Amino acid sequence: MRLAFSTLGVPTMPVDEVLRLASENDYHGVELRASAEGPVHTGLPAAERAHIAEQFGKAGIDVLTVAAYAKVAAPGDDGPVLEEIDAALQLAADLGASFVRVFPGGGDQPAEEADALAARRLAAAAESADRLGVRVLLETHDSHRAGVDVARVLGLVGHRATGAIWDVMHTWLAGEQPSVTYAALAPYLGYVQVKDIASAADPTPLPLGAGVLPLAETVEVLSRADWDGWLCWEYEKRWYEAAADLPGLLGPAREHLTRLLSESA
């Protein structure tokens, strides 16, 4: 498996500094948060996109994902949601990213209605994604927290340009065992987001291995299935001011994941 980290932990850090951290700590890729407050967003002109892609290429680091915030199951018109996804897809293609991350965002709608809405929008976005050589990945999150929830939607879509991100915190909060999550998402799985927290009541991000999330079990399930994809550490410092800064945690996190992978081999 290959290791990446998300810039959610360093949301305003310049790209060259992100790449320095990735190189110095032996990460293979980076999940780029697409937000106007940071250096990577859909408003970037072509020259800046080309420069960022060149920086990653020279460093030998992959742009794993453009982490967008479109909510495919949110009530309302399809147009704005699809426009947001299309913009993220074009940015991903320009940067050489493999994936675009989207959220469910179904709110309190009945599950069947939210599923149908998400599936319709993902099917529409899949055509552009396929043309650009990028996959749209629906994250286990909010209204579709469990793997079985996301799998229901993707089963309705049935397109190779769509898939899933398994966020281990949200599936754990849903009460879903890693073996059940993997069985549901295996046909669709793009990559796995790892993190750690103190408890269900306190989601403040912790260094990997310092919390309660089933990271060892997750890695064991993936290893037993010979899954050879990406593990991406998402450290949500952006919303937790008291959390430790990410840079000093990157090396120990990589060591922890490497140890889990070795123990599960």
**Helix and strand counts by DSSP (H, E) for the chain:** 9, 10
CB 197, CB 173: distance < 8 Å: no
Residue 221 confidence class, pLDDT cut points 50, 70, 90: very high
Q: What is the mean pLDDT of residues 233-261?
A: 94
- The token duo for 118 is 């998400």
Nearest to 137 by CA among 103, 168, 163: 163
Spatial neighbors of 255 by CB under 8 A, at least 6 apart, are none
Whole-angstrom distance, CA of residue 163 vs CA of residue 140: 11
Residue 238 confidence class, pLDDT cut points 50, 70, 90: confident
DSSP state of 207: -
Whole-angstrom distance, CA of residue 24 vs CA of residue 21: 5
- Strand 99-103 relative to strand 135-139: parallel, antiparallel, unpaired? parallel
**Per-residue pLDDT, 265:** 77
Q: What is the mean pLDDT of residues 17-46?
A: 96
pLDDT digits (tens, 9 = 90+) for 159-173: 999 999 999 999 999
**pTM to 2 decimals?**
0.97
Whole-angstrom distance, CA of residue 104 vs CA of residue 88: 16
Statement: residue 241 has pLDDT above 90: no
**Could you give the angle at the alpha carbon of 93 between the alpha carbons of 162 and 90, nearest 5°?**
85
Q: Which CATH superfamily is domain 2-264 in?
A: Divalent-metal-dependent TIM barrel enzymes (3.20.20.150)
| Residue 95, CA distances (Å) to 30, 84, 125, 189, 211 in order | 12, 17, 18, 22, 34
Statement: residue 242 has pLDDT above 90: no
**Per-residue pLDDT, 218:** 98
- The token duo for 64 is 């794993």
Helix (H, G, I), strand (E, B) or coil at 208: coil
Q: What is the mean pLDDT of residues 222-234?
A: 97
- pLDDT over 70 for what percent of the chain? 100
Statement: residue 15 has pLDDT above 80: yes
Spatial neighbors of 155 by CB under 8 A, at least 6 apart, are none
pLDDT digits (tens, 9 = 90+) for 52-110: 999 999 999 999 999 999 999 999 999 999 999 999 999 999 999 999 999 999 999 99
Environment class of residue 174 by beta-carbon count within 10 Å: exposed (0-12), middle (13-18) or buried (19+)?
Answer: middle
- Hey, how many other C-beta atoms are within 10 angstroms of the C-beta on 36? 8
* Residue-averaged pLDDT of the chain: 97
**Per-residue pLDDT, 214:** 98
Statement: residue 44 has pLDDT above 80: yes
Write the DSSP string, 155-191: HHH--TTEEEEEEHHHHHHTT--HHHHHHHHTTTEEE
